[in-house]
Structure 1
């Protein structure tokens, strides 16, 4: 069968550059909006067969943080020629740009709309406005070191649902939590100094702090108070689940540093039900005596610390690396222990509606 030739489209008069770590579908949406089209019309005009579209994709505006558009080699070539940006430059900025599994010698431009293989969040609104000149949100596959915008004191939370209803909250205000911003500076230095050992220590620390947070002991006062400051004293229980990574972030970074330089003197055999010197050291570090309880740690925890991981195969600048040991999909807050408020009762009811400001 003779090879088909697809003529390159006329280059656009607008050179629209992608935002670093932007989702492919977001970039194409911005490109279509720049030409007063929707995504399907843009693909059709470039000679790319539009895929079966998710209902949300028919909207001319709106962020996409759960679905992604994957393009084969001919499609990527057509888009690169249209925007006037080399394909390798687009691949450097868009993490999912060349993830389409091409068959040998593809001949027709194709696109597939699927659930994203990575977890994207909506970038800092003020940074996005300065970068693109438009108020529309830009979803990005941000690495864990870029979830915080220190300039605007914002934490990118991502999409969350509560009782199958999506919450219109995707960012947390850190202006009242300087300890989180300070922990972020320590986080950056920690990664530079420790290298691959930092990734392993962070994964262990995040697992531990999230497990302790979910347990919600009555003697824990620091994390609930931090949730109230993030939420400006409003709906503290909601923010305690919504911003769970931010709530425990200072303790996570402090614990990860400790685990990365774990003293060899603490490598003594663990005995079930008995306090280990490692548990005592962590309880002292985080100023939480309850953490001496062996039941709060996984089995053979000291052996997990001793494990030396290999170097991550992809550079952080090209392949965003996220530590997310639990569910990488949009969080269902009811699974984290937060219940939606009950519908208000009538005036004659004996039961008053519960409040979320506790």
Structure 2
């Protein structure tokens, strides 16, 4: 953290000094070149650089410094009082004015983006509430990375609740992106939070979600999802067309938990029979279960290779769940080498004796 803050401070100082460094560099070059070559128009680099990082007033000050430096240099180059000198001064003044306008527009845009971030973060706190770090004998870790960097929220969804029927969870991925995907995620999460407490079985919870989406979505929209319920020694899963979770055994084994039958995504019940078949998987002390969305396994590196989650998941073994999941997310971002093209959510359950 200290090195990151130091890097930010260094970058800030560099950007603040850049306009004056540009003016100084042009001054030195012009003096060394003599009167045969004219570099005075390059003094406009000062206010131009200032508009990229500074405000309107700072850009005006830098432009004024550029004009003050230009006057003795014009005398040195024997253009002071001539039309060439007037053109150079007018050019610096015009570029300074344009840079001030650009700085004002940039600051307005930054304020708008800051407002968007605050609203999106508030919406995220309501929609995607922090999951409990402990539920019974489960340690829970979460990682969520939105592909929409400015909004910090997307169409992936998750929830963990403790109900009279045990710990239940949901992880899903809404088809599409943007505000429509966020709205659909809100409908699904609201329906799940209510049904998870009311319905005694996962199939009934699934039916409630399907009924909600049937009322709210058009025929082409859908949500892939996994519903789960933890019991003594095992976990019940209901897979609606979602990527299968990975079971990391206490013995170091890694197993992909494929559903017994392919189930339709939520919202596609009108296409015909496709209700997922419930399955129960042994889940004992020391085991871990990683749920994830397709934004993880479909993330590509610059060469087009998919992220090898099955291979990299070993980082989750014998570590604090949240620290290990943070390391896995960092490895995912490093694999991509830039912003993710799709939302990526990971939810890790670690079964361990309660303290």
- Provide the TM-score with structure 1 as the length reference: 0.24
Structure ranking higher in helix proportion: 2
- Provide the TM-score with structure 2 as the length reference: 0.24
